[in-house]
């Protein structure tokens, strides 16, 4: 059912979305900066883009707008989450954002999670059994970091998936193992779960196998979800701590702070409004200016946070204030 819905969404996408997988991966692997966008980041970006110049911010970050400089990546499950509530099409406000991103010179690709390995194998030749073993290794290392994905496998009713969950699986020579495993997991997608973000991590297992020894690429995971950012960072630290490639997370707050730092948001009243609508009237933040004292979270109003950011104080958002 989800596969059918995704296909319908893709069929109705404007032509500036690159969905052909070989072409998408040729572009992705040439780009210096690769930005994976998750659903909650996109929804907040829409609000910010109404009045602030997000396009210059991304250009500064990537040092260019050409597809050789930066490419935005939407996975199919993220695309699924961005659909209209009544029809199998991209929600109109999401479509408008991507239209403007493209109109400002940026490239947007859609990747199919279950075919990432196949497309990467065009450039790095491994046997099916070797790829299977590699994925199983990475999954075993990250059981605690991919809780939703593992819960899906635990409750799948599929003996192979359950053996992955239990850690009792041996060598898998099945040629379509990766394809069928990810397809089966995607079909178990439920509203408000973290499966889309965790499958971005799985996709990166394969991408990083090709570019992990390169120093020309930078990968960014853009999210408004702090637990998702934490899980992503743990996956990278667990399985790719020794790679040379730059792998970083961008929270929506850090993106706003970056825009303020670069003079792209100067109006304090506007900044307060964005912070209020996105994070609430009171935020938990940490000051990151150099100090001999270990910083601790403090509660600041949206107005105080705006004043600090515009005044050059470096802040990190650490979560909502619980009432």
List, for residues 137-194, the tens digit of each pLDDT value: 999 999 999 999 999 999 999 999 999 999 999 888 899 999 999 999 999 999 989 9
Contact 286, 316 (CB under 8 A): yes
Q: How far apart are the first and last CA of the chain?
A: 40
Instruction: Give 87's pLDDT tier (boundaries 50, 70, 90).
Output: very high
Instruction: Of 96, 24, 323, 304, give the one whose Cα is nearest residue 315.
Output: 304
Work out the percent of the chain whose per-residue pLDDT is above 70.
98
Which carries the bigger pLDDT value, residue 242 or residue 55?
Answer: 55
pLDDT at 74: 98
Q: How many residues does the chain have?
A: 323
For 108-151, how does the pLDDT look when each residue is reduced to its tens digit (9 = 90+)?
Answer: 999 999 999 999 999 988 899 999 999 999 999 999 999 999 99
Separation between Cα atoms, residue 204 and residue 202, nearest integer Å: 5
3-state secondary structure of 247: strand
Q: Examine the pLDDT at 322 and tell me if it is beyond 70.
A: no
User: What would the mean pLDDT of 30-54 be, rounded to a whole number?
Assistant: 96
pLDDT at 172: 87
Separation between Cα atoms, residue 273 and residue 75, nearest integer Å: 31
Q: By mean pLDDT, which of 49-53, 63-67, 263-267, 290-294 is the weakest?
A: 290-294
Separation between Cα atoms, residue 233 and residue 250, nearest integer Å: 11
| 230 C-beta neighbours (distance < 10 Å), count | 13
Residues 6+ apart with CB under 8 A from 208: 219, 240, 243, 245, 247
Instruction: Give 321's pLDDT tier (boundaries 50, 70, 90).
Output: low
């Amino acid at each position: 059912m989800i596969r059918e819905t995704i296909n319908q969404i893709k069929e109705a996408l404007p032509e500036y979305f690159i969905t052909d997988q070989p072409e998408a991966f040729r572009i992705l692997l040439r780009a210096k900066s690769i930005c994976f966008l998750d659903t909650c980041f996109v929804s907040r970006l829409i609000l910010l883009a109404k009045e602030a110049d997000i396009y210059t911010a991304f250009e500064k970050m990537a040092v260019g707008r050409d597809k050789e400089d930066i490419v935005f990546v939407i996975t199919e499950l993220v695309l699924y989450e961005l659909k209209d509530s009544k029809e199998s099409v991209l929600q109109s406000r999401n479509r408008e954002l991507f239209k403007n991103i493209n109109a400002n010179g940026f490239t947007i690709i859609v990747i199919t999670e279950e075919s990432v390995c196949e497309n990467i194998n065009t450039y790095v030749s491994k046997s099916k059994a070797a790829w299977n073993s590699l994925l199983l290794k990475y999954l075993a290392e990250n059981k605690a970091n991919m809780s939703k994905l593992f819960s899906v496998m635990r409750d799948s009713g599929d003996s192979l998936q359950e053996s992955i969950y239990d850690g009792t699986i041996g060598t898998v020579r099945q040629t379509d193992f990766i394809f069928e495993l990810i397809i089966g997991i995607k079909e178990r997608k439920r509203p408000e779960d973290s499966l889309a973000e965790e499958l971005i991590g799985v996709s990166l297992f394969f991408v990083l196998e090709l570019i992990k020894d390169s120093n020309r690429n930078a990968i960014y995971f853009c999210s408004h979800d702090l637990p998702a950012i934490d899980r992503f960072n743990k996956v990278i630290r667990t399985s790719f701590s020794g790679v040379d490639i730059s792998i970083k997370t961008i929270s929506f707050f850090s993106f706003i702070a970056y825009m303020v730092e670069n003079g792209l948001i100067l109006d304090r009243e506007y900044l307060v409004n964005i912070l209020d609508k996105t994070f609430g009237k009171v935020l938990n933040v940490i000051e990151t200016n150099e100090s001999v004292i270990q910083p601790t979270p403090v509660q600041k109003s949206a107005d105080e946070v705006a004043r600090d950011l515009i005044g050059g104080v470096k802040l990190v958002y650490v979560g909502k204030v619980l009432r």
